[in-house]
C-alpha cells in the first residue's frame, strides 16, 4: 500500500492550495480529484461568472455610445471558454510539471475517494479499477454544489443552477432568478447588463441583499431596474415548472395576492450544499455540524489527523477563504504553532452594478449588536478619478468606534474600482491600528483610494471638502442606542 504524508481529497481551489502548501514543507502529497482540477473555481462558478460579468459591463459601456448595440452570444461564450481554457491549462500544466520533478513530492490520482478509516482511503477510477492508499494526515476539500428546492425539477437546460448556464445557446429573451442574495443579484446584473434579456428577481424579503446595508442594496436595485430588470419584492414562490419548454412560476405576495408569470429560463440561486455524501465520513467517525457540513475547530475535525477546508465547511463560501483555510490546515499539520484563523477581516467583492467591496462589519450589523459607532460617507461625485472615468455613481462608507480611538469596524465601497479601495483599511482592521497614518499618506492622484483618505480626514476633522458645506455628498453621523444623529464634525 502506498503511503503519503498527506492525502488531499478534492482538487478545487482549497484542495489545490493545500497540496501546494504541503510541498513547501517537503511532504509527500497525494491529490485526488474525481472530476476536473480547479473545481467550481474554474468551471461553472467564480471564473465563468466573473468573465460574464466583465463582458456585460463592456456591453453596457458600448450601449452608452451605440444605443442599439446587441452583443453576440457566440462571441461572449468564446471569451468565457478562452478564460476557462487558460486557467485550467495553467493548473494542469503546473500539476504535470510538479510530478516530473526529481525530488517528486506531488502525486495525482483521478478518481472517487472514500475514507476507509482515519488513515486509509480507497480510490475508484473511471475504468472501474480500485486502489487503497494511506497517509498520516488527510485534508477533505470536496466543495459544494448548488442547492435545489425539493419542489422544483431542475433540468439544467430550462430551469438551471449556475452549473447549467453553460448549456445556454443564446441569450434568453426573459429569465427569472430565484434568490436575491449576492449570487442571485450578480446573475441578474450579468444578464440584464447584456441588454437582451428581461430579468426578474424573486425576493422573499422586503429588499434585495438582506445581509448588506440598505443604502448599498438601494443603489444595486436602482441600477437593475434601470436595465429593465424587475424585482418581485416580498414574494414567495408557490410553484415553478416547465410547460411547453417555458418556465411558468406562481408567486404569493405578502398582501395576499398571487400572480403567474411565464419566462424562457429560470436560474435557481439559493445557496450551496456541502458535498459530504459518499466520501466515507462515517468510516472515520468524522462528525457533521447542525448545518450538515463537516464540523471543525480551526480547520481540524473531531478526528485529530483529519482536517477540512473550503465550501464543505460552509463557514464562508469564498475561494479566497477556502484557499486560506487549506493553507492554514497544512501549517497546523506540519509547521510551527500558529494563531487561529479569524473570519472578522475578510475582504469581499460583489460583482454587481456598480461593483461593491466590503470588509469588516456593516452598519446594520453594528446596530444589531448594539455597538455604538460613527459613520462617514463620501459620494463618488467628489472623487477626481471617478469624475475622469465618468463613473460617479457610488459612495465610500467607513464605520468606526464611537470613541477617541476611532478603531475601524468596517467599510463599504460602492462604485467603480471599489475592490481596489478596501485593502488598506482591511489591513488597519487586521492589525487593530488607528487611522491617522493612512490619512496622512500621500496617495496617488487621481485615484479611487483618495476617497478612503478623505473619509479618514473627515473623521479627524481635517477634510478638504467640508461636510457642513456639501451636506448631500459628505455625511457624518453617530449611532448609539438605535438612534443616529447627524453631526458636522467628528472631532
pLDDT at 483 over 60: yes
More confident residue, 115 or 205: 115
Instruction: Give the residue-averaged pLDDT of 237-242.
Output: 97
Instruction: Give the residue-averaged pLDDT of 173-194.
Output: 96
Torsion angle defined by CA atoms of residues 84, 89, 90 and 96, in that order, rounded to the nearest 10 degrees: 150
Q: Residue 315: which pLDDT band, with cuts at 50, 70 and 90?
A: low
Torsion angle defined by CA atoms of residues 414, 419, 425 and 428, in that order, rounded to the nearest 10 degrees: 150
Q: Residue 488: which pLDDT band, with cuts at 50, 70 and 90?
A: low
- pTM over cut 0.75: yes
Q: Residue 312 carries which DSSP code?
A: G
Tell me if 122 sits within 8 A of 135, measured CB to CB: no
Determine the pLDDT at residue 455: 92
Instruction: Give the residue-averaged pLDDT of 219-223.
Output: 96
Q: Residue 285 carries which DSSP code?
A: T
> For residue 462, what is its C-alpha cell?
481635517
- Cα–Cα nearest to 52, from 182, 186, 179: 186
| d(C-alpha 379, C-alpha 109), whole Å | 53
| 279-313 residue pLDDT tens | 999 999 999 999 999 999 999 999 999 999 999 98
Q: Taking the CB of residue 113, how many other CB atoms lie within 10 A of it? A: 25
Tell me if 201 sits within 8 A of 184, measured CB to CB: yes
| 407-431 residue pLDDT tens | 899 999 999 999 988 888 888 888 8
> For residue 243, what is its C-alpha cell?
410547460
Instruction: Give the residue-averaged pLDDT of 347-372.
Output: 94
DSSP three-state, residue 96: helix
Q: Residue 485: which pLDDT band, with cuts at 50, 70 and 90?
A: confident
* Range list of H helices, 341-416: 363-368, 384-389
Instruction: Give the residue-averaged pLDDT of 198-207.
Output: 93
Contacting residues for 272 by C-beta, under 8 A, at least 6 apart = 144, 145, 146, 147, 311, 314, 317
| d(C-alpha 328, C-alpha 349), whole Å | 22
Q: Residue 179: which pLDDT band, with cuts at 50, 70 and 90?
A: very high
Tell me if 216 sits within 8 A of 395, measured CB to CB: no
Tell me if 46 sits within 8 A of 341, measured CB to CB: no
Terminal C-alpha separation, the chain: 69
* Range list of H helices, 275-404: 319-334, 363-368, 384-389
| 316-329 residue pLDDT tens | 788 999 999 999 99
- The DSSP secondary structure of 418-483, one letter per residue, reads GGGGSHHHHHHHHHT--SHHHHHS---SS-TTHHHHHHHHHHTT--SS-TTTSTTTEEEEEEETTE
Q: Residue 26 carries which DSSP code?
A: T
- What counts of helices (H) and strands (E) characterise the chain? 11, 24
Phi, psi of 410 (to 5 degrees): -175, 170
Q: Residue 482: which pLDDT band, with cuts at 50, 70 and 90?
A: confident
| 135-154 residue pLDDT tens | 999 999 999 999 999 999 99
Pick the CATH number of 354-486 from 3.40.50.300, 3.30.390.30, 3.40.190.10, 3.30.70.120: 3.30.390.30
pLDDT at 102 over 70: yes
pLDDT at 490 over 70: no
Give the fold, CATH level 3, of 2-146+273-334: FAD/NAD(P)-binding domain (3.50.50)
Tell me if 198 sits within 8 A of 175, measured CB to CB: yes
What is the overall mean pLDDT for the chain? 93
Question: Does the 159-270 domain belong in CATH 2.60.40.1180?
Answer: no
Contacting residues for 245 by C-beta, under 8 A, at least 6 apart = 158
> For residue 350, what is its C-alpha cell?
460583489
Tell me if 38 sits within 8 A of 15, measured CB to CB: no
Torsion angle defined by CA atoms of residues 120, 124, 125 and 126, in that order, rounded to the nearest 10 degrees: -160
Burial class (CB in 10 A: 0-12, 13-18, 19+), 266: buried
Q: Which sequence spans correspond to the domains of the chain?
A: 2-146+273-334, 159-270, 354-486
| 8-52 residue pLDDT tens | 999 999 999 999 999 999 999 999 999 999 998 899 889 999 999
CA distances from 36 to 112, 246, 401 (A): 12, 32, 46
Determine the pLDDT at residue 44: 86
Phi, psi of 37 (to 5 degrees): -60, 130
Cis peptide before 446 (omega within 30 of 0): yes
The alpha carbon dihedral of 206, 210, 216, 222 has a sign of negative
Tell me if 413 sits within 8 A of 394, measured CB to CB: yes
Tell me if 82 sits within 8 A of 76, measured CB to CB: no
Q: Do domains 159-270 and 354-486 have the same CATH topology?
A: no
| Bridge-based pairing state of the strands 474-480 and 483-486 | antiparallel
Phi, psi of 67 (to 5 degrees): -55, -30
The alpha carbon dihedral of 201, 197, 261, 48 has a sign of negative
> For residue 379, what is its C-alpha cell?
459620494
Amino acid at each position: 500500500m502506498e503511503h503519503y504524508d498527506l492525502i488531499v481529497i478534492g482538487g478545487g481551489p482549497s484542495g489545490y492550495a493545500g497540496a501546494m502548501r504541503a510541498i513547501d514543507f517537503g511532504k509527500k502529497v497525494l491529490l485526488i480529484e474525481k472530476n476536473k482540477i480547479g473545481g467550481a473555481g474554474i468551471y461553472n462558478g467564480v471564473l465563468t461568472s466573473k468573465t460574464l460579468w466583465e463582458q456585460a459591463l463592456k456591453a453596457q459601456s458600448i450601449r452608452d455610445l451605440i444605443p442599439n448595440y446587441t452583443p453576440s452570444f457566440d462571441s461572449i461564450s468564446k471569451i468565457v471558454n478562452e478564460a476557462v481554457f487558460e486557467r485550467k491549462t495553467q493548473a494542469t500544466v503546473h500539476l504535470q510539471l510538479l510530478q516530473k520533478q526529481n525530488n517528486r513530492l506531488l502525486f495525482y490520482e483521478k478518481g472517487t475517494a472514500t475514507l476507509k478509516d482515519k488513515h486509509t482511503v480507497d480510490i475508484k477510477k473511471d475504468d472501474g479499477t480500485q486502489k487503497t492508499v494511506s497517509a498520516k494526515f488527510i485534508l477533505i476539500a470536496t466543495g459544494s454544489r448548488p442547492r435545489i428546492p425539493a419542489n422544483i425539477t431542475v433540468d439544467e437546460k430550462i430551469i438551471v443552477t449556475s452549473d447549467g448556464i453553460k448549456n445556454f445557446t443564446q441569450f434568453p429573451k426573459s429569465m427569472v432568478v430565484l434568490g436575491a442574495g449576492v449570487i442571485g443579484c450578480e446573475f441578474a446584473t450579468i444578464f440584464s447588463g447584456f441588454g437582451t434579456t428581461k430579468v426578474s428577481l424573486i425576493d422573499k424579503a422586503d429588499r434585495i441583499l438582506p445581509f448588506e446595508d440598505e443604502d448599498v442594496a438601494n443603489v444595486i436595485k436602482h441600477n437593475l431596474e434601470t436595465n429593465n430588470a424587475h424585482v418581485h419584492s416580498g414574494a414567495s414562490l408557490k410553484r415553478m415548472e416547465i410547460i411547453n419548454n417555458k418556465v411558468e412560476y406562481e408567486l404569493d405576495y405578502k398582501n395576499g395576492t398571487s400572480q403567474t408569470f411565464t419566462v424562457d429560463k429560470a436560474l435557481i440561486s439559493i445557496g450551496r450544499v456541502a458535498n459530504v455524501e459518499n466520501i466515507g465520513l462515517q468510516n472515520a467517525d468524522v462528525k457533521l455540524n447542525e448545518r450538515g457540513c463537516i464540523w471543525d475547530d480551526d480547520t481540524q475535525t473531531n478526528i485529530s489527523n483529519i482536517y477540512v477546508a473550503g465550501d464543505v465547511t460552509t463557514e464562508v463560501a469564498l475561494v479566497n477563504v477556502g484557499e486560506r483555510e487549506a493553507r492554514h490546515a497544512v501549517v497546523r499539520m506540519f509547521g510551527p504553532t500558529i494563531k487561529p484563523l479569524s473570519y472578522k477581516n475578510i475582504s469581499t467583492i460583489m460583482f454587481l452594478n456598480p461593483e461593491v467591496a466590503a470588509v469588516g462589519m456593516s452598519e446594520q450589523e453594528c446596530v444589531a449588536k448594539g455597538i455604538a459607532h460613527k459613520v462617514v460617507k463620501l459620494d463618488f461625485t467628489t472623487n477626481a478619478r471617478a469624475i475622469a472615468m465618468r463613473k460617479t455613481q457610488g459612495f465610500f462608507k467607513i464605520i468606526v468606534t464611537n470613541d477617541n480611538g476611532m478603531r475601524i469596524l468596517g467599510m463599504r465601497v460602492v462604485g467603480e474600482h471599489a475592490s481596489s479601495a478596501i485593502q488598506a483599511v482591511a489591513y488597519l482592521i487586521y492589525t487593530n491600528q488607528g487611522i491617522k497614518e493612512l490619512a496622512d499618506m500621500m496617495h496617488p492622484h487621481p485615484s479611487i483610494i483618495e476617497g478612503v483618505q478623505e473619509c479618514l480626514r473627515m473623521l479627524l476633522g481635517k477634510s478638504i471638502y467640508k461636510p457642513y458645506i456639501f451636506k448631500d455628498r459628505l455625511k457624518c453621523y453617530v449611532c448609539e442606542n438605535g438612534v443616529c444623529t447627524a453631526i458636522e464634525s467628528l472631532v
